[in-house]
Structure 1
């Protein structure tokens, strides 16, 4: 274990996207003597979201907790923090996949797909979805990254998803990534 790994905190910042915002936030993390263990950035419309898992000793975690709200106000960001007391333990899995699907934008499709994953006891690692105009229709596309637990039959999972894809009227591709 490194000196950074004693304590963890999850930090999220949301605000208007602009150049330099990532630099400002990562500098604050560095100035507070925290380490970025994991992070994700997304631009949704004109809004910026940045989520980071930070580690550090108790002093560093306390420092970020006390300085982030003020820095967030200066930068025009809504910020949230949550201390993380346990490390994420990965379940045993046999493979990692992405599922990419597209179709006409229909309410409830993403909800039904994510319910399918939940019903099959599969946790989603990453999800990205959006819509776009194509000729006269608004289309949706989604990419989901997930791990197949060792006790899930991947072939049966794919066959069952084939049936769901027909019901939802989406085209899809599974890709093994690990």
Structure 2
């Protein structure tokens, strides 16, 4: 049975400081809304969060009405967007992609182009730069989850992906997400 709840995606960005997540989640709880998914990071001293929230439309409206005060109180830019649940995920297979390489411009773009050209959506992505142990060589790591259409031949895709990564000197793994 489909949910009668509405969905709201919140994004917030601003200078990091303790208590931001506490205050945002308290506002969501006090509006009787439920957090479905969250991604949060501190990047170069800035706080960034994406949250998917669900509740009946009137409770989401109550939460939306609190956004100007939350922005002032927390020093954040907050954007709210009403959303529909993503029904197309039903025939997508979640696969994990892990890539490690010498740090160089274009790695993320090349990976995004590879998947985009094949109609594969990137659903989640994290990147990081670090110094290699012992040598200090600048390294770059990418971890992503992609939604592969169930009709796609996985063995052929994996072979294409590995050839693509070999050409760019990327160490990579493409495997089903477990659990």
Mapped to 2, the partners of 1:46 and 1:5 lie a distance apart of: 39
Mapped to 2, the partners of 1:149 and 1:76 lie a distance apart of: 41
Hey, what does 2:150 align to over in structure 1? 150
- Secondary structure at 2:119 match in 1: coil
Hey, what does 1:122 align to over in structure 2? 120
Q: Is the 8 A contact 1:122 1:147 kept in 2?
A: yes
Q: How does 1:21-36 map to 2 (within 5 A)?
A: 21-36=20-35
Q: How many residues align?
A: 175
Mapped to 2, the partners of 1:156 and 1:107 lie a distance apart of: 27
Q: CA deviation at 1:138?
A: 1.6
Give the direction of change, closer, same or farther, for the CA distance of 1:20–1:98 in structure 2 (3 Å limit).
same
Matched, 1:61 2:70: no
TM-score, normalised with respect to structure 2 = 0.89
Q: How does 1:126-145 map to 2 (within 5 A)?
A: 126-134=124-132, 135=135, 137-145=137-145
Question: Which runs of structure 1 show a deviation greater than 4 angstroms over 4 or more consecutive aligned residues?
Answer: none
Q: Is the 8 A contact 1:122 1:148 kept in 2?
A: yes
Deviations 1:109-167 (A, max 9, x none): 11011111111111112100111123353211000112321111111111111111122
Hey, what does 1:87 align to over in structure 2? 85
Mapped to 2, the partners of 1:148 and 1:6 lie a distance apart of: 28
Which is further off, 146-155 or 23-32?
146-155
Hey, what does 1:19 align to over in structure 2? 18
Deviations 1:45-89 (A, max 9, x none): 2222111111222321221111112112211111111111x2211
Q: CA deviation at 1:17?
A: 2.4
TM-score, normalised with respect to structure 1 = 0.89
- Secondary structure at 1:106 match in 2: coil
